[in-house]
Amino acid sequence: MSLLRQMKAGLSIICLLLPLMASADLDIVVTKGYDSKTKVAIVPFFWEGSDLLPEKVENIITNNLVRTGRFEPLPAARMLSQPFSEEGIFFRDWRLLGQEFLIIGHLKPFGDAKLEAEIALYDVVKNRRIVRVTQVIGVHQLRDFGHSLSDLFYERMTGVKGIFSTRIAFVTRKIVNDNQYDYRLQIADADGQRARTVYRSNEPIISVAWSNDGGKLAFANKVGDRWTIFIQDLKSGQVNSISDARGYTSSPSFSPDGRYLAYVSSYRNSPEIYLYDFQSGKSERITRNTYIDTEPSFSPDSKSLVFTSEKGGRPQIYRYDLASKREERLTFEGAQNLRARYSSDGKYLVFVHFIDGRFHIASMDLATRDIRVLTETNLDESPSIAPNGTMLVYATQRGNRGVLAWVSLDGQVTNQMKSDFGDVIEPAWSPYLN
Amino acid sequence: MNNMASGDTGQNLSLPIIGAVAVHLVVFTLLIGSWSFSYSKPKTFEIPKSIKAELVVLEKPKPVQEKPVVTQPKPQPKPETVSKPKPKAETKPVVQPKTEAKPVLPKPVEPKPNTVNVSKPAETKPAVVETPKQTETKPETAPAEDLFENLLAEMAAEDSAIQEQIEAIEQSQIRQAEIAAQVSDYIVVITQQVEEKWSRPVELRLMDLSNIEAVVAVEILPTGELQSATVVQPSGNENYDQSVLRAIEKVRRFTVPQDSEVFEAGGFRKLNITFRPEDLMKP
């Protein structure tokens, strides 16, 4: 009898144990994502003044976020309410609309041609405010304010520094008469707005490069039958050519520490890469072969540079180390790889990758040398990478006109811009500016 | 007179009663002995076999329970049922005790002469043998039979208890299978929910993602509501880790089993979600 009871007890224990043993943590593996755009509601800001403001800050922010290709703003018509203060926010409503973030703003007149702005970003998922900005600004500063707010909000939402307050330099080309052109070097906001001319020439201007502090531009301009590199100080407007550069020089690239300018010269023979030292005022040749070496670009630490060389038969990307003076081939995949630029953190390269008869934008993880194709393009011009590495701007044809196109890394063309001064060519995205 | 009458009747009855009681006791002890003997077998085999003999047993246990109460005729049908499938194992223990119990009956006849020397051996024996079966001697056999019946009842109760346990195990196994099926269904749903909400930052595509992986411990209330999410195994890339946390926060309310048993048994209270972007990895 006791044995039976023991058995019963045993059975009961087994019965009890079965569910217990099964109730360990549940393991789930997620191997893909939908990568849908981040849904953000930007409520039209409330302006207490009577005069119409020259800019709508919320529109500037909306357009900036859309241009990145990773945000999907909620049309104002679909909003259940349009709060301009925290008390008016019902997170549940915004969640019902599928929103992830919410931006509201309140603008009040503040003396002569000034206003007080209170703008805030909310996390609808977490039911909380992320950041609030209260600032007095001039009415004429609304556009800059919109860009810096965009930078702030973008960084808080993505963890990546925004590029909306950066600039883009580009060249326009317009036919004036037969065989006569008007070339202009222009600088605009990162969205292409507020373009201004900083240099003009009747001869072609190419390969525009920014100094690391954003204070100077280097470019090549044809002078007579030669190409000369000029450096323009953007504050003073002063333009200098590199004294030691002779012959056909182009493709300038500032070292981030400001000491060197790498450039290409074919003065003696085939195009070779030189290093101009601003301290000594002298140039040093760093490649020596009978093939084309071009498109130098410095690493963020200024210790090395990448360039394109045809010494392997086809254009491929090489890296030159300034200390050891040694060079190393980086790309082996693809028929051609060219126009390499370092990411701002120096961890990867972005470059033009020609494979299967098409141009792509590709990146290389420098730690593993793994190449991945980012964007399939029909581009015939060079792209320039935004300093945060998440966007490109390049010149392309629309109709029979050269325009500037913004492209996100996953290949969406998010914006295009034409110029009043003819075709747009040779864009160069600035570094972060402060 | 009443006394005399009672005395007479007492004297008249005393011998048969003593004999009957003695016989019953003997039978009883032998029965107990045989039962206990027979039980030794079940101990050994029931423990392992009970788990395996699931489905077929569900029908048979009932006939088995009836058999013990009746008596002899059943030994024959039992072998038939026994011979077929494994369920025999469980029916056997019940069957065997009875077949052994019968042979016990003749035995008590022999011991009686020794113990009941005083009076009528010949008369008592047949009477004894008949009476227990017919239950004619109602008054005094009652306690003995009660014991016997109690014993049988207890046996039956034990049997049915065992059967209940077996059935309980079987049912729990079936239930476990049902739960397991539901759990895997809900895993698919939850995985889908998270995938829909997972947006990988575009800058990730610049990186070599072949080894990137993060694990998030997610605590969920029985309502499906997210209670907490913690990166327990970071990927080494802060943006990546944020993207997986965000995906979970965006789900907000997970689709979990409404059946609380499935919820608990399936482990939905705490999910370990591994994020491995195979779709972004190079083939």
Q: Are residues B154 and B87 in the same domain?
A: yes
- Residue pointed to by tokens 């370990």: B272
A 354-383 → B contacts, CB under 8 A:
363, 365, 367-368, 370, 372, 374
Nearest to B267 among A23, A35, A69 (CB): A23
Q: Are residues A181 and A288 in the same domain?
A: yes
Asked if residue A43 is part of any domain, the answer here is: yes
Q: Supply the DSSP symbol for B259.
A: S
Element (H, E) at A221: strand A216-223
Q: Are residues B62 and B169 in the same domain?
A: yes
Output the pLDDT for position B154. Answer: 86
Q: Are residues B41 and B158 in the same domain?
A: yes
A282, β-bridge pairs? A277
**d(C-alpha A174, C-alpha A308), whole Å:** 30
Q: Are residues A147 and A290 in the same domain?
A: no
- Residue pointed to by tokens 């003749």: B106
Nearest to B271 among A26, A126, A370 (CB): A26
Residues of chain A with pLDDT under 50: 1, 14-22
**d(C-alpha A38, C-alpha A169), whole Å:** 29
Domain count, chain A: 2
Q: Are strands A304-309 and A293-298 parallel, antiparallel or unpaired?
A: antiparallel
Return the SS3 of B86. Answer: coil
Strand order in the sheet with A260-265: A249-254, A260-265, A272-277, A282-285
What's the gap in Å between the CA of B167 and the closest CA on chain A?
Answer: 11
Output the pLDDT for position B71. Answer: 41
Chain A positions touching B187 (Cβ under 8 A) are 26, 28
Tally Cβ neighbours within 10 Å of residue A39. 18
**d(C-alpha A151, C-alpha A166), whole Å:** 10
Whole-angstrom distance between the N-terminal and C-terminal Cα of chain A? 89
From A101, A133, A158, give the residue that closes a domain.
A158
Q: Are residues A121 and A206 in the same domain?
A: no
What are the DSSP calls for A270-285, one per residue? S-EEEEEETTTTEEEE
Domain count, chain B: 2
Return the SS3 of A62. Answer: helix
A333: containing domain: 167-429
Q: Indicate yes or no: CB of A410 within 8 angstroms of CB of B179.
A: no
A 32-91 → B contacts, CB under 8 A:
32-38, 69-70
> Could you report the per-residue pLDDT of A177-215, keeping only the tens digit for each?
888 999 999 999 999 999 999 999 999 999 999 999 999
* CA-to-CA dists, residue B5 to A142, B14, B19, B60, angstroms: 128, 14, 21, 55
Q: Are residues B170 and B206 in the same domain?
A: no
What value does the CA radius of gyration of chain B take, rounded to a whole number of Å? 35
**How far does Cα B163 stand from its chain's mean position?**
5
Q: B282 — contact with chain A (CB < 8 Å)?
A: yes
Q: Are residues A237 and A255 in the same domain?
A: yes
Domain of residue B232, CATH code: 3.30.1150.10
Asked if residue A3 is part of any domain, the answer here is: no
From A137, A158, A179, give the residue that closes a domain.
A158
Q: Indicate yes or no: CB of B172 within 8 angstroms of CB of A18.
A: yes
B239: containing domain: 198-280
Q: Are residues B255 and B153 in the same domain?
A: no
Size of interface A-B (CB pairs under 8 A): 171
**Predicted confidence pLDDT, tens digits, chain B (283 residues):** 444 444 444 455 566 666 666 666 665 555 555 444 444 444 444 444 444 444 443 433 444 344 344 344 444 444 444 444 444 444 444 434 443 444 444 444 444 444 444 444 444 444 444 444 444 445 555 677 778 888 888 888 888 888 889 988 998 888 888 888 889 999 999 999 999 999 988 777 777 788 899 999 999 999 999 999 999 999 998 889 999 999 999 999 999 999 988 999 889 999 999 999 998 887 6
Asked if residue B187 is part of any domain, the answer here is: no
Dig out the tokens for A377 from the structure: 């393009």
Q: Indicate yes or no: CB of A31 within 8 angstroms of CB of B183.
A: no
Domain of residue A128, CATH code: 3.40.50.10070
**d(C-alpha B279, C-alpha A35), whole Å:** 11
Q: Supply the DSSP symbol for A422.
A: B
Q: Are residues A133 and A182 in the same domain?
A: no
Output the pLDDT for position B130. Answer: 44
Q: Are residues B165 and B276 in the same domain?
A: no
**d(C-alpha B247, C-alpha B242), whole Å:** 9
Q: Are residues B244 and B130 in the same domain?
A: no
Domain of residue A217, CATH code: 2.120.10.30
**d(C-alpha B167, C-alpha A299), whole Å:** 73
Q: B206 — contact with chain A (CB < 8 Å)?
A: yes
Residue of B nearest to A36 (CA): B199
What's the gap in Å between the CA of A12 and the closest CA on chain B?
Answer: 7
Q: Are residues B45 and B140 in the same domain?
A: yes
Dig out the tokens for A65 from the structure: 């976020």
B 213-252 → A contacts, CB under 8 A:
217, 238-239, 242-244, 246-247, 249-250, 252
Q: Indicate yes or no: CB of B261 within 8 angstroms of CB of A19.
A: yes
From B142, B176, B210, give the residue that closes a domain.
B176
